[in-house]
Every structure is written in C-alpha cells, then in structure tokens.
Amino acid sequence: MLRRHPGILPLLVSQIPIGPNGLKRREQGIALFLANDFPAELAARAYTSVAHCVLGFAIQQHSNASSEAAEGEELVEFFAALDASEYPAIATAGRHLPGISLEDEFRFGLKLIIDGL
C-alpha cells in the first residue's frame, strides 16, 4: 500500500491511523500475534514494533530514492578517510554499510525482528 500511495506517509507519521482501514490492519496484525500464543501486551508491542519498522523504511525509501547510489560512493570514501584508531568498527565494516540496498536492509531487519519474537 505504501509503495502505491507514498503521499500518505506524512499522514501516518502525524497521527495514529484509527479510521476503518487503519483499525482493520491493526486488528489483523495483533490477531496474528495473539493466534500464535503471544500474551496481549507482547502482541501489542510486537505489532507496533513491526509497524514502525515498516513505516520507517517506507519513509526512508521515499525520501532517498534518487540519491542512494551517489551517496553510497561518497560514504565509502568518507568512512575510509576516518581515523581507524578512533573508529575501529567503522574502519572494519564501513565499506559494507552503503552497499546494502534499502530493500535488502528492510527484509533483513524485519526478519531479525520476527525471528526474535
């Protein structure tokens, strides 16, 4: 839905969707967790965590769609120029950070959340 209607992103950020469609999606999501033996509080928290992950990536994808490749090359150079003694973790992994597409990062992150639940 967010790919077909990116114009709704500001609405989803500014208010909790409590109309009929928003409630239907929330009901389906929470029901899925409850049906898999999640206690009510955990089902609510799991649903909101997944929903916020999806919304956050949709916003990031919408705002960065045109500049991702160019920024990636610049970030590799920026990370490589950092002082490795001050930023040893970035020096080790920095060249891999910009090479991950948002779509792959989204799938990876969502899988981590779901597997962790």
Residue spans per domain, the chain: 1-65, 67-117
Answer with the residue of higher pLDDT: 102 or 104. 104
Give me the chain's average pLDDT, please. Answer: 83
Does this model's pTM top 0.85? My answer is no
Q: Residue 69: which pLDDT band, with cuts at 50, 70 and 90?
A: low
What is the spatial distance between Cα 16 and Cα 12, in angstroms, rounded to a whole number?
A: 6
C-beta separation of 71 from 98 below 8 A: yes
The pLDDT > 90 percentage for the chain reads 39
Residue 29's nearest CA partner among 58, 5, 52, 57 is: 52
